[in-house]
Amino acid sequence: MNALVRPSELKKQHLIDPEICIRCGTCEATCPVGAVSHDDVNYVVDADKCEYCMDCIAPCPTGSIDNWRIVKVAYSLADQLGWAELPRQEDFGEAAAAAVEAIEGEVGALLERAHSGTGGKPVAPVTASKPTVNIFTRTRPATATVQGNYRITAQNGSSDVRHIVLSFGETLFPVLEGQSIGIVPPGMRADGRPHDVRLYSVASARDGEKRNANNLSLTVKRSEGGVASNYICDLKIGEKVQVTGPFGATFLMPNDPSTNIIMICTGTGSAPFRAFTERRRRAAPGAPGKMIMFFGARAPEELPYFGPLQKVPESLLEKHLVYSRLPGRPKEYVQDRIRSRAGRLADLLGSEQTHIFICGLKGMEAGVDEALADVCRGYSLDWSRLKPQMRATGRYHVETY
Ligand code: A2P
């Protein structure tokens, strides 16, 4: 208790949790007033510049940005750059308790208001299970063992996409379909700092790649010069991997088997949808809800899981595999197929049981949005009203990069 602190001296400070932050830079790119900056170690918020607009909160993939402390003297940038973890909330005593509560309420209200301006705060599907998040951090990661690593694009294709299976052994690492995990590449960068954590969507169902085997799978594309992707794609069976997470509290599969799930993806964005499909196959194989997938790739040999996908029955998953670079054929993107199946989609969009999930290239987001608006226009639906409604009720989810 600090009897010298007067309630009027207290203020809220916006901070980033360095243990959870994966250093993706989204917050810095989003901040309209340049309050977020970084060095080689941490992302930090300048208390003199932050105007609490909350623009950075929703885009952050881990939630590390959504941290607040009530302070008398703001933590400086130098303080924050030196942190390995957030400091505890200081106790200002009973005299200041009402002020602390009021400030906390104000932060909550600002968050609500900010989200309402951007089409609604991301909300988990009503029937999704409650996710567990942020159990393992960069300073306290889980150790997994590689159980599998094989290529899931054709050998004659130009992209090397791999299916990686990680076992957690005796460690409890709960995940839900739609969540991600962080992989910590070993070693140091040239400047002596640790490598950044990279986030990957889980491609297996909650009960494991193999049922009840306490393992999970990832879909990883090797990218030229990419530290994490090359490290993961080169992993050998039996090697140990440092893992953080799990992450993600809204892009989650609805449990209700009567929900229709429209899944729109490109490339490795298909990972969560492999998880969704496997979950429904295991938990509710005769579900009344429809699952429909629009999956874009350059060609069949570049489409991850092309072979296994052929074996998934249409009764479980209605598949629209679309290709942009087939010789002698016009380019087709997922949004083109959405337009050409307008009637089918309009049927689904008219139902309150329908959820939309979009995952993959950022570039597809606008195109898909326009295509869905066109579908609605043709069938007396209003996308400009339907989309925010779906988002507010946890039925519209986007994860692009
Ligand atoms: P393309 O690159 O031929 O224009 P990738 O293999 O690079 O991960 O890409 C996956 C697929 O997404 C490719 O077919 C790619 O087409 C396609 N794509 C690229 N940009 C967009 C976009 N703006 N909207 C939808 N699909 C896109």
The pLDDT value given to residue 1: 41
334 within ligand 1 shell (Cβ under 6 A) = yes
The pLDDT value given to residue 301: 95
Atom of ligand 1 nearest to the CA of 302: 6
The pLDDT value given to residue 117: 45
304 within ligand 1 shell (Cβ under 6 A) = no
Are 270 and 386 found together in one domain?
A: yes
Question: Does residue 120 lie in a domain region?
Answer: no
- Residue at which a domain ends, from 114, 133, 161: 114
Are 236 and 289 found together in one domain?
A: no
Print the domain residue range for 350. 260-400
**83 C-beta neighbours (distance < 10 Å), count:** 17
Spatial distance between the Cα atoms of 252 and 70, rounded to a whole number of angstroms = 32
Q: Of 392, 394, 331, whose CA–CA distance to 367 is shortest?
A: 331
Question: Does residue 133 lie in a domain region?
Answer: no
DSSP code per residue over 129-171 = PPPP---B-SSS-EEEEEEEEEE-S-TTSS--EEEEEEE-TTS
Q: pLDDT digit of tens for each residue in the chain (401 aa)?
A: 445 567 678 888 999 999 888 888 889 999 999 999 999 889 999 999 998 888 888 888 788 898 999 998 999 999 999 998 899 988 888 777 877 888 777 777 777 666 554 455 689 999 999 999 989 988 899 999 999 999 999 998 899 999 999 999 999 999 999 999 999 999 988 888 788 889 999 999 999 999 999 999 999 999 999 999 999 999 999 999 999 999 999 999 999 999 999 999 999 999 999 999 999 999 999 999 999 999 999 999 999 999 999 999 999 999 999 999 999 999 999 999 999 999 999 999 999 999 999 999 999 999 999 999 999 999 999 999 999 999 999 999 999 88
How many structural domains compose the chain? 3
The pLDDT value given to residue 113: 65
pTM: 0.84
The pLDDT value given to residue 94: 79
- Which residues lie across from 354 on neighbouring strands? 260
Eight-class DSSP state of 96: G
**How remote is the C-alpha of 160 from its chain's centroid?**
22
Q: Of 304, 163, 159, whose CA–CA distance to 237 is shortest?
A: 163
Spatial distance between the Cα atoms of 285 and 165, rounded to a whole number of angstroms = 24
Q: How far apart are the first and last CA of the chain?
A: 46
CB 228 within 8 A of CB 183: yes
**227 C-beta neighbours (distance < 10 Å), count:** 14
367 within ligand 1 shell (Cβ under 6 A) = yes
Question: Does residue 128 lie in a domain region?
Answer: no
The pLDDT value given to residue 4: 58
Are 396 and 275 found together in one domain?
A: yes
Specify the CATH number for the domain of residue 378. Answer: 3.40.50.80
CB 29 within 8 A of CB 166: no
Atom of ligand 1 nearest to the CA of 325: 3
269 within ligand 1 shell (Cβ under 6 A) = no
